[in-house]
């Protein structure tokens, strides 16, 4: 089993983890509880490299060769033997042949001779330097060299890049393009990967219709379904789209149970706060599920549910699309990654400087959609709160470059304050 993420370190603002009676649970506390539930999938399969893109390595991969495999030329030029450079130059060597990348490179070089050699070609036996072609002059079959080469000049030695037996990639690493290139260069034609995490999702709300549909009064178009379909569209996730369910407890329970039988994780949107039409907590309990987290000191998105039902983990996101997005980004994705056995789950963060001022009420850790501004010349970006002519919150989210993390105790943001920023990577 892959190592579980370090559960003792702070994740976001590091605020206290266990709430007083009745108080909200901190973001870090909620995430800690969520990750404690997220046992990585154990099933693995061996796949050819070209079918394993984006999947999670089930075991560490070690090099069973050293690289480069053989001494080879770093440049186009002439392979020479230093023994032929006695006395003062210039020296004249007879051109005895050529060796290109892919040739066996076992052609003997007679004394006083040289071979034309190209980048990547094996160094012929007995040769100990490559003189680049720019430092030579050819006259018929004779190559004139004016400067004495250094031993090993322009030769990439066998084994100098990578030692036999060294760890190429750890278990839990996603096989991205760079990782795939490394494995391919070391000759690994197939890898053991974890099976994809199955995530079932559905939206809740009697008001929801598909975009494109004609709306009756009181109805709205479903945004969250498309958000989730997008964020779950990853090689290591297998999605199960359970559609959109009206606010009817019987239908919600039926869909939830059906989803939990097929999936490692069930994600829903809407219906998790305290209104009469917020059925998900009761439905989860009625279906035999457990609630581990209910209210979190996070803005936006306070009402959310983390729990389990059968063998599946449950995440109930708020219905408000911005809240749903933020909670998915901050908590949901990390649960999914932990289930997948991905080790590096900490989302990238950069330090930025506030380009705005704002009073705020302390007590909740805030993730504010924000845009990156100019560089200050020392590598720090300023950050601006996303603003737009339309003050539509989903539009602001779509225009943002990431989420600005404002620690729970902060009661005022001053221009120039250094803050953490979680850049979006999805465009
Ligand atoms: P709820 O959490 O179900 O009370 O929903 C909170 C708000 O978000 C309400 O205004 C809902 O109409 C809205 N909402 C819920 N689900 C969605 C969705 N899938 N797409 C767009 N808006 C939604
Ligand atoms: Mg609702």
State the average pLDDT over residues 1-10: 49
Is the Cβ atom of 368 under 6 angstroms away from ligand 1? no
What atom of ligand 1 comes closest to residue 247's alpha carbon? 3
Confidence of residue 18 (pLDDT cuts 50, 70, 90): low
Crossing angle of helices 27-37 and 333-340, in 10° steps, is 30
- Residues 263-293 have pLDDT tens digits of 999 999 999 988 888 999 999 999 999 999 9
State the average pLDDT over residues 40-60: 97
Residue 324's nearest CA partner among 420, 232, 258, 410 is 232
Is the Cβ atom of 224 under 6 angstroms away from ligand 1? yes
Is the Cβ atom of 319 under 6 angstroms away from ligand 1? yes
pLDDT at 21: 55
- Residues 149-162 have pLDDT tens digits of 999 999 999 999 99
| 205 has a pLDDT exceeding 80 | yes
Pick from 319, 322, 393 the residue to mutate for probing ligand 1's pocket: most ligand atoms within 8 Å of its CB: 319
| 36 has a pLDDT exceeding 80 | yes
Distance in Å, CA 270 to ligand 2 centroid = 5
Confidence of residue 108 (pLDDT cuts 50, 70, 90): confident
Is the Cβ atom of 229 under 6 angstroms away from ligand 1? no
pLDDT at 376: 80
pLDDT at 16: 60
| 345 has a pLDDT exceeding 70 | no
Residue appearing with tokens 């997005």:
325
Is the Cβ atom of 273 under 6 angstroms away from ligand 1? yes
pLDDT at 378: 81
Contacts of 260 (CB under 8 A, 6+ apart): 200, 266, 287, 289, 309, 310, 311, 312, 314
Across 16-25, 38-47, 114-123, 226-235, least confident range: 16-25
Across 57-61, 87-91, 374-378, 417-421, least confident range: 374-378
State the average pLDDT over residues 169-185: 96
Kindly tell me the sign of the dihedral angle through the C-alpha atoms of 45, 51, 52, 55.
Answer: negative
Kindly tell me the sign of the dihedral angle through the C-alpha atoms of 41, 46, 47, 49.
Answer: positive
Confidence of residue 425 (pLDDT cuts 50, 70, 90): confident
Distance in Å, CA 307 to ligand 2 centroid = 19
Distance separating alpha carbons of residues 125 and 146, to the nearest angstrom: 23
Is the Cβ atom of 244 under 6 angstroms away from ligand 1? no
Distance in Å, CA 401 to ligand 2 centroid = 28
| 312 has a pLDDT exceeding 50 | yes
Is the Cβ atom of 268 under 6 angstroms away from ligand 1? no
Distance separating alpha carbons of residues 157 and 67, to the nearest angstrom: 9
Is the Cβ atom of 347 under 6 angstroms away from ligand 1? no
Ligand nearest the Cα atom of residue 211: 1
Ligand nearest the Cα atom of residue 226: 1
Is the Cβ atom of 300 under 6 angstroms away from ligand 1? no
% of the chain surpassing 90 pLDDT: 83
pLDDT: which is higher, 399 or 289: 289
Distance in Å, CA 322 to ligand 2 centroid = 14
Going by alpha carbons, the residue nearest to atom 17 of ligand 1 is: 319
Distance separating alpha carbons of residues 163 and 404, to the nearest angstrom: 42
| 5 has a pLDDT exceeding 80 | no
State the average pLDDT over residues 325-333: 95
Q: What is the 3-state secondary structure (H, E, C) of 229-277?
A: HHHCCCCCEEEEEEEEECCCHHHHHHHHHHHHHHCCEEEEECCCCCCCC
| 405 has a pLDDT exceeding 80 | yes
Distance separating alpha carbons of residues 143 and 79, to the nearest angstrom: 11
Confidence of residue 344 (pLDDT cuts 50, 70, 90): confident
Residues 421, 393 contacting (CB under 8 angstroms):
no
Confidence of residue 6 (pLDDT cuts 50, 70, 90): very low
Distance separating alpha carbons of residues 212 and 225, to the nearest angstrom: 14
Going by alpha carbons, the residue nearest to atom 10 of ligand 1 is: 320
Confidence of residue 1 (pLDDT cuts 50, 70, 90): very low
Q: What is the mean pLDDT of the chain?
A: 92
Residue appearing with tokens 């379904």:
225
| 17 has a pLDDT exceeding 60 | no
Distance separating alpha carbons of residues 98 and 66, to the nearest angstrom: 26
What atom of ligand 1 comes closest to residue 244's alpha carbon? 19
| 334 has a pLDDT exceeding 50 | yes
What atom of ligand 1 comes closest to residue 223's alpha carbon? 20
Is the Cβ atom of 320 under 6 angstroms away from ligand 1? yes
Is the Cβ atom of 77 under 6 angstroms away from ligand 1? no
What atom of ligand 1 comes closest to residue 303's alpha carbon? 2
Give the Cα-Cα-Cα angle 366, 17, 33 (nearest 5 degrees): 95
**Backbone dihedral region for residue 187 (phi beyond 0: left; psi -120 to 50: alpha; all else: beta):** left
Considering the entire predicted model, what is its pTM? 0.91
Is the Cβ atom of 205 under 6 angstroms away from ligand 1? yes
Contacts of 267 (CB under 8 A, 6+ apart): 199, 200, 201, 228, 232, 315, 316, 317, 328, 332
Q: Which two tokens stand for residue 278?
A: 């917020």
């Amino acid at each position: 089993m892959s190592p579980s993420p370090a559960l003792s370190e702070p994740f976001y603002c590091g605020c206290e983890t266990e709430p007083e009676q009745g108080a909200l649970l901190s973001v870090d506390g909620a995430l800690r509880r969520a990750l404690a539930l997220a046992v990585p999938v154990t099933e693995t399969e061996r796949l050819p490299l070209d079918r394993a893109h984006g999947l999670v390595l089930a075991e560490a991969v070690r090099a069973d060769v050293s690289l480069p495999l053989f001494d080879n030329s770093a440049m186009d030029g002439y392979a020479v033997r230093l023994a032929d450079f006695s006395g003062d130059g210039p020296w004249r060597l007879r051109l005895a042949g050529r060796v290109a990348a892919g040739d066996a490179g076992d052609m003997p070089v007679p004394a006083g001779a040289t071979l034309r050699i190209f980048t990547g070609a094996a160094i012929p036996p007995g040769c100990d330097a490559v003189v680049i072609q720019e430092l030579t002059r050819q006259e018929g079959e004779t190559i004139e060299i004016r400067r004495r080469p250094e031993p090993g000049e322009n030769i990439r030695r066998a084994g100098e890049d990578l030692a036999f037996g060294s760890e190429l990639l750890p278990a839990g690493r996603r096989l991205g393009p760079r990782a795939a290139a490394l494995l391919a260069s070391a000759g690994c034609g197939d890898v053991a990967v974890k099976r994809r995490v199955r995530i079932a999702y559905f939206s809740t709300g009697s008001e929801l219709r598909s975009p494109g549909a004609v709306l009756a009064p009181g109805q709205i178009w479903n945004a969250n379904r498309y958000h989730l379909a997008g964020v779950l569209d990853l090689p290591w996730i297998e999605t199960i789209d359970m559609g959109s369910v009206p606010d009817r407890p019987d239908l919600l329970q039926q869909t939830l149970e059906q989803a939990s039988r097929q999936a490692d994780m069930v994600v829903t949107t809407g219906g998790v706060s305290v209104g009469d039409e917020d059925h998900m907590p009761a439905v989860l309990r009625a279906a035999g599920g457990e609630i581990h987290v209910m209210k979190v000191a996070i803005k936006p998105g306070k009402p959310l549910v983390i729990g389990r039902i059968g063998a599946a983990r449950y995440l109930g996101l708020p219905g408000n699309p911005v809240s749903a997005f933020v909670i998915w980004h901050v908590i949901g994705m990390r649960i999914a990654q932990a289930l997948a056995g991905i080790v590096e789950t900490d989302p990238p963060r950069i330090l930025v400087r506030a380009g705005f001022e704002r009073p705020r009420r302390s007590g909740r850790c805030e993730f504010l959609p924000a845009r990156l501004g100019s560089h200050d010349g020392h590598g720090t970006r300023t950050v601006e709160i996303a603003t737009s002519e339309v003050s539509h919150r989903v539009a602001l989210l779509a225009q943002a470059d990431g989420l600005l993390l404002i620690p729970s105790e902060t009661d005022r943001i001053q221009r120039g304050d250094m803050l953490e920023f979680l850049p979006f990577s999805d465009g």
